[in-house]
Structure formats: structure tokens, C-alpha cells
Amino acid sequence: MIVVALCSGGLEKLVSNEIRKFTGDFRIIDSGFGKVRFETNLRGVYYALLSFRAVDRLLLEAAYFPASDFDELFEGTRAVAWEDYIPKGMGLAVDKVRSNHSRLAAETAIQAIVHKAAAERLCKHYSQNRLTESGETVELRVYIEKDQAQILIDLCGSPLFKRGYRIEGGTAPLRESTAAALLLQSLWRRKYPLYDPFCGSGTIVIEAALFAWDIAPGLLGRRFALSALAIACEKTENDVRRELSERIDTSKIIQIYGSDSDSGVVETAKTNLSRILNSLSGMGDAGVKPPPPNCKPKLWWRKMEEAKAPADDGYIITNPPYGIRLLDKEGAEAVYRSMAVLKHNFPRWKINVLSAHAGFEAFFGSNASRCKKITAGASETYFYEYDFVERKAEHIQNSKNAQNRRDMQNTHDTYDTQNRRDIRGRNAVKKSDIIYTW
């Protein structure tokens, strides 16, 4: 099976690394802007649906063929064995069409042709006059790139970033998959403390907890569109779910904190976190236990300026207001200026900030160690990563001290070596005089 993983633009390498983590059943074929194409089996598809954190959607490639005109598009679509994927009684919809650098550019016409060709094949196979228009529907996507048509079947239903725990998302919620991507991009690990001073509805905090507890995000009670397809296998899905559930370990001590100046969204964050904990209670048959009190994320009301480091070092990963849906541009810029206090209150921490403002660094007062552009639909954001400021300075000073010690030792060694050479030289002369005298 060939599967296409859709993600935010700029995260292709990160998603490729997620795929490579599952050795054996996965082979990456290629990647493009906002997508990674890979080969796997049905078991691998279930693993991907349940486990991938930074992926927005998974699509099964049903066909890939030349389509320079509508006749080729129709015949190529009709040649697909749709009955192998779509059972009798299901409807069919062409959800999205994209054409780029191709002679076929009329997306509405492409949509109609693909639907007609697939429906004709299915109706003939199932001896029907027309496909049902009620009940469950299989969604197709058509991408035509340089006269090559790619027809894809949606495996997800609702996007994978809709984990199910965030019913109330706040005014400008961050996608769960994007929050997970920030954690992976920053190289945060559960042994380090994590703090989000703009936690909002708690997305970064909760995704960090899922990561720390080894909870596959797809285990949180959601259903996938794959379950309705003819290729679905309930036994395989249950086996994968059981295997992933056995990996969960909520006994690990974690130091994950979140705060916000809006007490209302903090309560929302606590409610969202409680849904995760309730989901864990429902996994008791798999041996999953709720985390003890010292292993749960901490959420509280607090202004960003008042946030203090709960440990000597750690990671700040946060998503402050953009100035788009929260505040205006000037208001957001004022927040960015005030965020400079984090460098003082968290002196040995790595600071990671997602912002839609391309000039964030100027207002924050420091140039980022790294900056990655992340594009989700029409939204362009930037992930600014700042290394440990004091630790970096200490490292530089320690490096200078070490170099000074090495220089002094080298000078001393050179002096000793030259002295030994001089002594050996003088002794050699005296010895030769004695030899020649004899």
C-alpha cells in the first residue's frame, strides 16, 4: 500500500523521521511540500493512524497515472478496482481537487469526471443504477501535477489533529499536530521540565504529557474512516491498539507546567486534561493506570511576567498571541517586548516560540539560534528556537579556559621537550669525543 501523509509545510523532514522510527513496515518513497509518500502494509496503516503525532491526515493512493486530457483521466479512474476499497452501500464524494502545471486545470470538471468514472465502475460491479447518497461516504482527493493524476482515498475522517480531548478550544486554538511538532522540533525529552507561559486551552502541555507517557494520540477513543472500507481488518486494528496500549507508562515522573493570564482558558485547559485522564481510566483492561498526583501536568492562572523557572534548566515551548485573532498587531508586539523577561526568569532554559510575526526577534530583543517556517493552509508561522543563554556563555568561557590550559600545557611541554633535546645533544657530543679519543 502506498500512503500519503499530509502535514504543515516545513515539517516534511520531521514527519519523515516519525515514519522512519517504525522500522520494518515502512519505506519512504518521496516527499514534497506538506506531504510525505511512503509504502507500508495494513498493519502499518493502523500504526500510522494511531501513532503519528505531527501528521494532519493520511490518504491511501488508489491510482497514479498520466492524465493530459479528460479521456485519460476518465479511463485511468475507471480502471481502478474501486470495489476492492469501497463496499456496497457506501456513497462516494470527490472532496478536493488540486491541479498544478498541468493541461487539466478546471478543478470542477476534474471533480465531475473522476466521480463519474468511479461511480460507473462501482455501479456495474454491484449491479446498481446509482450510488447511495445517504449513509457513510468515501471521500476521494485528486491531485494532478505535471499531467500526472494521483487519486487518493481518505483514511481518517476527521483530521488526525482532532484528538478528541479538546472540545472547547479557546479563541485561537493551536492545532494538536502542530503542538506535537513543536515538541519534536525542539528535541524536548520527558526528563527535562517544560513550561508554557501562554498555555491557553492547554494543547502544548497536553501533547507533551501524551508524548511523555508514550500515549499514541489515536488511542483516545476516536474512529477512523478506514474502518468502513473493504480493506479494513478489525483484528489487525485491535492487535495494534493493544500493542500500543501496552507501551503506555503513566508512572514516569514528569515536570510539565502551563499558565495563562486568562483564568477562564486555564479552567478549559484543566477540563481538556481531565478528558485525557478519563480516557486512561477507560483503558484499565489493557493494564493502563491513571498517573499519580506527582506525575500529572500542573496548570494555574499566572501572568507571563510573573512566571518563574520551576527548575534550574528546561524548555519553554509556547505560542503567544499573533495579533490576528487575539489582540491587534500592536498589542501582540507589546507582548513580544514583555516576553524578554523570560530570559531573566528562566536564565538556563531553552526558549521556543511559535509566532506568525516575522519580526518577533526584534521585539524579543534577541536573534534566534534557529528559525523554521511552518505553513498550515494560508497561515504562515515561524518557530524561533533560542538556546540556553547562560549555559552557552558558560560553555564559551569554559572552552576559553580549557584552551588556555591547553596552550599553557603545550608551552610547558614544548619547553621540556627542547630542554631534553639540548641535554641529549650535549651528551652526544661528549660521548663522540670520548669515542674518537679512544
HEC per residue, 386-427? ECCHHHHHHHHHHHHHHHHHHHHHHHHHHHHHHHHHHHHHHH
- Indicate if the pLDDT at residue 69 is higher than 60: yes
**What is the percentage of the chain residues whose pLDDT exceeds 90?**
73
User: Range of 62's domain?
Assistant: 2-154
Q: Is residue 123 part of a domain?
A: yes
Which band of pLDDT confidence, cut at 50, 70 and 90, is reported for residue 377? confident
CATH number at residue 12: 3.30.2130.30
- Indicate if the pLDDT at residue 372 is higher than 80: yes
Q: Is residue 25 part of a domain?
A: yes
- Indicate if the pLDDT at residue 77 is higher than 90: yes
- Indicate if the pLDDT at residue 1 is higher than 90: yes
pLDDT at 388: 63
Region 97-106: mean pLDDT is 96
Domain count, the chain: 2
Q: Which of 48-52, 386-390, 423-427 has the lowest mean pLDDT?
A: 423-427
H-state helical runs in 329-388 = 329-338, 341-345, 360-364
- Helix, strand or coil for residue 95? strand
Q: How far is CA 15 from the centre of its chain?
A: 6
Q: Is residue 81 part of a domain?
A: yes
- Indicate if the pLDDT at residue 274 is higher than 60: yes
Which band of pLDDT confidence, cut at 50, 70 and 90, is reported for residue 164? confident
- Indicate if the pLDDT at residue 426 is higher than 50: no
Q: Is residue 407 part of a domain?
A: no
pLDDT at 408: 53
Q: Which of 149-153, 281-285, 310-314, 421-425 has the lowest mean pLDDT?
A: 421-425
- Indicate if the pLDDT at residue 413 is higher than 90: no
- Indicate if the pLDDT at residue 258 is higher than 60: yes
150 and 180 co-located in one domain: no
Which band of pLDDT confidence, cut at 50, 70 and 90, is reported for residue 66? very high
Region 378-396: mean pLDDT is 72
190 and 331 co-located in one domain: yes
pTM of the model: 0.85
Give every strand in the sheet of 298-301, ordered side by side: 298-301, 256-260, 194-196, 315-318, 350-355, 379-386, 370-376
196 and 327 co-located in one domain: yes
- Indicate if the pLDDT at residue 84 is higher than 80: yes
pLDDT at 12: 97
Q: Which amino acid is at 353?
A: V
Number of H helices, E strands in the chain: 12, 14
**Residue after which a domain boundary falls, among 95, 119, 154:** 154
What single string gives the DSSP state of each residue in 310-326?
SSSS-EEEE----SSSS
CATH number at residue 298: 3.40.50.150
Region 371-396: mean pLDDT is 77
136 and 253 co-located in one domain: no
140 and 182 co-located in one domain: no
Q: What is the mean pLDDT of the chain?
A: 87
142 and 189 co-located in one domain: no
302 and 356 co-located in one domain: yes
